[in-house]
Amino acid sequence: MSTKQGDIEQSPVAIAYQSSSREKASTFSGNAFKISLVVLDCAFLGMQPVLVHLSKNKQGSYSFDPVSVNFMTELAKTAFAVVTLLIFGTGRPGTPMYLSLRSFISDARHNYLLAVPAALYAVNNNIKFAMQLIFSPTTTKMLGNLKMLAIAVLMRLIMNRRFNIIQWEAVFLLVAGITINQLKNCPTGGSVEAEVPWLLAFLCTLGTVTVPSMASVYNEYALKKHMDTSVHLQNFFLYFYGACFNLAGLLCVSWWKQQTLVQMFRGQSVVTYMLIANNAAQGILASFFYKFADTILKKYSSTIATIVTAILSYFMFGHQLSINFVIGVSIVLISMHQFFTFGDKPASSVHKPLTPGGLEPSSSTGHAGMPGSSESENGRRQLIFSPSLEHITVASSSANGPLVGRSSYYIKQDAERSAKSETLQPLLPR
């Protein structure tokens, strides 16, 4: 694929990633990897209620400040990301960011979008505690079920993800199944909730539905927007931004309570540290869900974890399983089958002629495109299913439009290396 000097290439190009990245990328592709994500997510989510229960004191409250736990969780995730960067590298040419302040600033600018979900997650952590003070636990859970609908709508608006009618029905069935399962915990008497101003209750309800949903969807959008960027590098900046926002929240709470930072960290025990490690592991797994799977699969995984926890509690602690649980689980399983069986099929399942580079042409343009992507009539790219790191860029739907290719950040890195007489070997011929 040759072009004249100064012209923009009108054909797709391969991501000039490091030579070993293609082998590493295969680790994150396929159903086996996604199944392992679901299994690990179920394990960590199942452990969380036990650790939360054990971390309470005899009065049934927490001896520690939850804000400090949130900060330490982000700090633990940041430390994990640093270790992975030291082991696997940053996945880009040039000096690593941990050896150069200039590289750190460049990487931070390249991953600035991740600051948005980091801030939203920090806000959501505080909203959850406010909801527990205003509403009963049952009402909080019921309102939390609406997040699934909000996520589906946001994925349609932000990521241009299209769902067919059967998938929308599956989403409604999931909400119904979870709600039926929780109805067994509804109080039979009057409301146990305190009288609060309707405006405050409305804002908290709106926040508990939209903020975490927006955080999850925008996190997926930011991670997949730069699929050529190493997930370990993206994780570091996501957790680094999150630690900064949670530190700001910790300082504000410390000032509000007129306590020192040392006092904010009092009351923590070994169980608290185990809870922090468990929460950090869940956050790390969530990044891989959003990067290589999607938010919908993450929510289904969380639902499965709840089911597994209830079944284990039945055999281990003798907790009774009500008829609501049986009906709710049945509806959830039907919903899961509908959503993933009648959804859009990957492009790889349709046999199409290959381009000279050995890639499948796009369904709308005929150019080689990213597997699992298509373009709508208005030219916007759509993620039909979750890609892997082995993708390449997609040409614009406009015949004379510029190529939606590599980011300017990596083009600049290539130019700097070329000036030093260093060559990069593309994964596929240009």
Minimum mean pLDDT range among 26-30, 35-39, 348-352: 348-352
Whether 124 is covered by a domain: the verdict is yes
Determine the Cα–Cα distance for residues 66 and 252; give it in Å rounded to an integer.
14
Determine the Cα–Cα distance for residues 310 and 312; give it in Å rounded to an integer.
6
pLDDT at res. 402: 42
More confident of the two residues 174 and 23: 174
pLDDT range class, residue 131, cuts 50, 70, 90 = confident
Whether 375 is covered by a domain: the verdict is yes
pLDDT tens digits, 359-381: 444 444 343 333 344 444 444 44
Residue 17 and residue 120 share a domain: no
Residue 214 and residue 93 share a domain: yes
Angle at 98 between CA 93 and CA 103, to 5 degrees: 50
Pick the last residue of a domain from 227, 259, 294. 294
Pick the last residue of a domain from 257, 279, 294. 294
Determine the Cα–Cα distance for residues 255 and 263; give it in Å rounded to an integer.
12
pTM to 2 decimal places: 0.69
Q: Which long-range contacts does 212-215 make (Cβ < 8 Å, 24+ apart)?
A: 212/120, 212/121, 212/124, 212/147, 213/147, 213/150, 213/151, 213/154, 214/120, 214/150, 214/154, 215/117, 215/120, 215/121, 215/124
Whether 1 is covered by a domain: the verdict is no
Q: Is the predicted pLDDT of residue 148 greater than 80, yes or no?
A: yes
Residue 159 CA to its chain's centroid (Å): 13
Residue 134 and residue 78 share a domain: yes
Closest-CA residue to 30 (of 392, 393, 388): 388
Whether 332 is covered by a domain: the verdict is no
Residue 117 CA to its chain's centroid (Å): 9
pLDDT tens digits, 168-180: 999 999 889 888 8
In Å, what is the CA distance from 418 to each residue of 102, 168, 258, 343, 423? 19, 50, 56, 44, 6
Whether 320 is covered by a domain: the verdict is no
Residue 86 and residue 163 share a domain: yes
Whether 197 is covered by a domain: the verdict is yes
Residue 355 and residue 278 share a domain: no
pLDDT at res. 376: 46
pLDDT at res. 30: 66
More confident of the two residues 326 and 390: 326
Minimum mean pLDDT range among 35-49, 75-89, 262-276, 409-423: 409-423
Minimum mean pLDDT range among 37-46, 63-72, 264-273, 349-358: 349-358
pLDDT range class, residue 186, cuts 50, 70, 90 = low
Instruction: Tell me the mean pLDDT in the region 330-334.
Output: 90
pLDDT at res. 138: 60
Determine the Cα–Cα distance for residues 344 and 361; give it in Å rounded to an integer.
17
pLDDT at res. 71: 92
Is there a contact between 259 and 177 (Cβ–Cβ < 8 Å)?
no
Residue 79 and residue 23 share a domain: no
Is there a contact between 247 and 78 (Cβ–Cβ < 8 Å)?
no
Closest-CA residue to 71 (of 333, 344, 268, 315): 268
Average pLDDT, rounded, for the chain = 74
What single letter denotes the amino acid at residue 24? Answer: K
pLDDT tens digits, 228-284: 899 999 999 999 999 999 999 899 989 998 888 888 888 888 999 999 999 999 999
Residue 123 and residue 167 share a domain: yes
List the alpha helices (DSSP H) in 197-294: 198-225, 231-257, 261-264, 270-292
Pick the last residue of a domain from 278, 294, 310. 294
Is there a contact between 396 and 402 (Cβ–Cβ < 8 Å)?
yes
pLDDT at res. 114: 94
Is there a contact between 93 and 258 (Cβ–Cβ < 8 Å)?
no
Residue 204 and residue 160 share a domain: yes
Residue 155 and residue 84 share a domain: yes
Structural domain including 150 reads: 45-176+190-294
Residue 169 and residue 242 share a domain: yes
Whether 154 is covered by a domain: the verdict is yes
Count how many domains the chain has.
2
Counting residues of the chain whose pLDDT is more than 90, the rounded percentage is: 25
Counting residues of the chain whose pLDDT is more than 70, the rounded percentage is: 66
Determine the Cα–Cα distance for residues 228 and 112; give it in Å rounded to an integer.
15
Residue 122 and residue 85 share a domain: yes
pLDDT range class, residue 307, cuts 50, 70, 90 = confident
pLDDT range class, residue 126, cuts 50, 70, 90 = confident
Q: Is the predicted pLDDT of residue 111 greater than 70, yes or no?
A: yes
Among 75-79, 86-90, 313-317, 400-404, top mean pLDDT goes to 75-79
Residue 95 and residue 161 share a domain: yes
Whether 319 is covered by a domain: the verdict is no
Name residue 382's beta-bridge partners.
374
Q: Is the predicted pLDDT of residue 23 greater than 50, yes or no?
A: no
